[in-house]
Amino acid sequence: MDIFVARQPIFNRYRRVIAYELLFRNGMSNSFPGVDGDEATSSLLSSSFFTVGIEQIASGHKAFINFTEDMLLRGVPAMFPARSVVVEILEDVEPREEVVAACHALMNKGYVLALDNFVYAENFIPLLELAKIIKVDFRQSSHEQIVELVEIARKYHCKLLAGKIETHEEYARAYGMGFVYFQGYFFAKPEILKNKEISSSQMIYMKLIMEVNRAEFEINNLESLLKQDVAISYKLLKYLNSAYYSRLQPLSSIRQAIAFLGERGTRMFVSLIATSSLSENKPDELIRLSCIRARFLELIGKELQQDQGLFFLLGLFSLLDAILDAPMESLMRQLPVSGDITVALVHNSGPLFPYLHLIQLYETGQWAELDLVMTQLQMDGANIMDYYLDAVRWSGYFIG
């Protein structure tokens, strides 16, 4: 049985990642046909802890995982380290006496319990007394319901997690109401689209990206440009001498690094490091997500025997508007990139957009829509999760 896992970041009030929620699907068929919640979560846990490794999927952070009522009763969460998981109690779990007893046993063993997409009812008070986190769906809850939950959380000393936060306005509202954790892709959207000037330091890296991607750029010029920036030179040699490549003999010069990566690979790497340097005062997760998309699409391009560099830049630049808080159309006019990349990023259309849409759907766990896109692209999806996990691991060499 094929296992597919994606992850969504959970931030604290400083917009630093403190955990990931794992999103699961069995195989590449829609939703969970013929697979109940118990089997689905069992497969996820087996894949996460025994096959892939929770450290790789969650990058060393805790993993929020949904558990069904039956799995709680059978004590399944206790099979896994309390330091690695947060036990999410689904909204359809009935707070019967046996369920409360099972949750109490988990709490006594050091597990953190979270009430997923919580809606208050008096019969849930026993679980409120055990839970440390209340997750509130900002898409499904009214303002009045959220205000009520804030008071309830305060009464039972629970921390509040705002789910499905998609805009900075929603983040600010949840922050002001006392939420301490935030989940959603608000960080991946521009905060301001008008009257935003690019700083002088950011402009330097923009120029570097422009130069390194010019068609007529020569290797000698590339080497000279890299030597002028100590930080990029250091990161290049550190990356190539990392465990990712498992080299027997370390590389010691920029010229050796260029020879090893080749012109295309070096252009891609410099674009990556320069783009990451643009993200002043932005969450690390923003550039991490850019790295994951870039590597994922590069692997897709390799499978399709298409221009890997083109696919790489498509993913890398897909969040450039959020990194610089500037309109994508304006940014694309300043960069010498392929017209197909511009059309995909600015107009969400063209021959490359379906591939960008594919990774967007995967990372948000929209499995049914993902199926449709892969069918249109005539992809069977056999390697999709491998690509995603490779990209997650690869991104760790650039973002701690």
Q: Could you tell me the CATH number of the domain that includes residue 297?
A: 1.10.3210.10
Q: Are residues 183 and 223 in the same domain?
A: no
Cα(135)–Cα(156) distance, integer angstroms: 14
Q: What ranges make up the beta strands (E) of the chain?
A: 3-11, 17-26, 62-67, 85-89, 112-115, 133-137, 159-163, 181-183
Instruction: Tell me if 335 sits within 8 A of 210, measured CB to CB.
Output: yes
Domain that holds residue 315: 200-395
At 116 the pLDDT is: 94
Q: How far is CA 400 from the centre of its chain?
A: 14
**Could you give phi then psi for residue 119, rounded to 5 degrees?**
-125, 125
At 27 the pLDDT is: 41
Q: Are residues 205 and 161 in the same domain?
A: no
**Domain edge (last residue) among 140, 167, 188:** 188
Q: Give the helix/strand (H/E) hosting 371.
A: helix 367-376
On the question of pLDDT at 1 being above 70, the answer is no
In this structure, of 177-181, 207-211, 371-375, the range with the lowest mean pLDDT score is 207-211
Instruction: Tell me if 266 sits within 8 A of 258, measured CB to CB.
Output: yes
Q: How confident is the model at residue 213 (pLDDT cuts 50, 70, 90)?
A: confident
On the question of pLDDT at 31 being above 50, the answer is no
Mean pLDDT over residues 240-246, rounded?
A: 73
Q: How far is CA 19 from the centre of its chain?
A: 11
How far, in Å, are 43, 110, 251 from residue 245 at the CA level? 31, 38, 11
* 89 Rama class: left (phi>0) / alpha (psi -120 to 50) / beta: beta
Average confidence score pLDDT of the chain: 85
On the question of pLDDT at 196 being above 70, the answer is no
CATH number of the domain at 102, please. 3.20.20.450
Length of the chain: 400
Could you identify the residue written with the tokens 């929209």? 366
On the question of pLDDT at 39 being above 70, the answer is no
**Domain edge (last residue) among 188, 217, 251:** 188
Q: Are residues 40 and 175 in the same domain?
A: yes
On the question of pLDDT at 204 being above 90, the answer is no
At 342 the pLDDT is: 95
Structure tokens, 284: 């690390």
Mean pLDDT over residues 22-31, rounded?
A: 56
CA dihedral 305, 310, 311, 315 (to 10 degrees): 170
Q: Are residues 364 and 218 in the same domain?
A: yes
Could you identify the residue written with the tokens 């766990």? 365
Instruction: Tell me if 241 sits within 8 A of 250, measured CB to CB.
Output: yes
